[in-house]
Amino acid sequence: MMIHPAFVSRLETVLGKGFRLEGMAVGAITMDEGASGFWFHEGGEPIDPSHAYLYRNGRIYCGMTNIAVQLTDVGPGDGGFACLPGNHKANFPCPDDIRLYEAHQDRIVQITARAGDAIIFTESLMHGALPWTAKHQRRTILMRYNAGTTGESITGTYTPPPFYDELTEKQRAIITAPHYRQPDKGSKLYKSQ
């Protein structure tokens, strides 16, 4: 799923060729009825170059870009993923009372989706989760990507995951540490099979 063709084309648009899975960040999110939400974070401030958002010459460029694949339906009022649309372009911090969901709650948008839908969003968009109210369990797979030259956190030496040998060549191509751009020598992700 992490290199689904529909995802690859969109990630190349905003991150460029040679994008990478950020820190092996693939995770499952589950919430049962009555589960509390998750605080709203990001939103353009404080400035983090790995989460940058830029629009220039008719193109959007982003830093970390997330894909949240919904494994269950999310209907209106169910809770789950929510965001403050447009604030990824902000040049000032979001007030804490909005971030804490104490004021201007009408500005926060809960995203509805069907099982199998993917929500693609930049990490610089203020986002979080509203309390889960649906009878069924919320199930989401979250994958985080970044440009090949950018990393959210540099922790020293890169160590491949223990299951690296079980991955396809195309999957291995995106599981790498941040690197300096070098002349294109042909990524294994783009070779035909």
Q: Which two tokens stand for residue 139?
A: 């199930």
- The two three-digit tokens of residue 18, written as one number: 């040679």
Encode the chain (193 residues) as per-residue pLDDT tens digits. 889 999 999 999 999 888 988 865 678 999 999 999 988 987 666 677 788 888 889 999 988 999 999 999 999 999 999 999 988 887 778 888 988 889 999 999 999 999 999 999 999 899 999 999 999 999 999 999 998 888 766 555 667 778 889 999 988 888 877 776 655 555 566 555 4
* pLDDT (0 to 100) of residue 117: 98
Taken as a whole, the chain contains a residue count of: 193
Torsion 148-154-159-160 (CA) sign: negative
Q: Domains in the chain, ordered, with CATH?
A: 5-152 (2.60.120.620)
pLDDT at 116: 97
Residue 193: the pLDDT is: 46
What pLDDT is stored for residue 45 in this prediction? 60
Q: Are 74 and 112 in contact (CB under 8 A)?
A: yes
| pLDDT value for 181 | 61
**pTM assigned to the model:** 0.85
Give the DSSP per-residue string, the chain.
-TT-HHHHHHHHHHH-TT-EEEEEEEEEEEE-TT---EEEE-SS-S--GGG-EEEETTEEEESSEEEEEESS-B-TTS-EEEE-TTGGG-SSPPPHHHHTTSS-GGG-EEPPB-TT-EEEEETTS-EEEEPP-SSSPEEEEEEEEE-TT--S---SS----TTGGGS-HHHHHHS------------GGGS--
Report the pLDDT value the prediction gives residue 44, as an integer from 0 to 100.
61
Provide the token pair at 183. Answer: 């002349």
Residue whose pair of structure tokens reads 């929500």 in the numeric block: 119
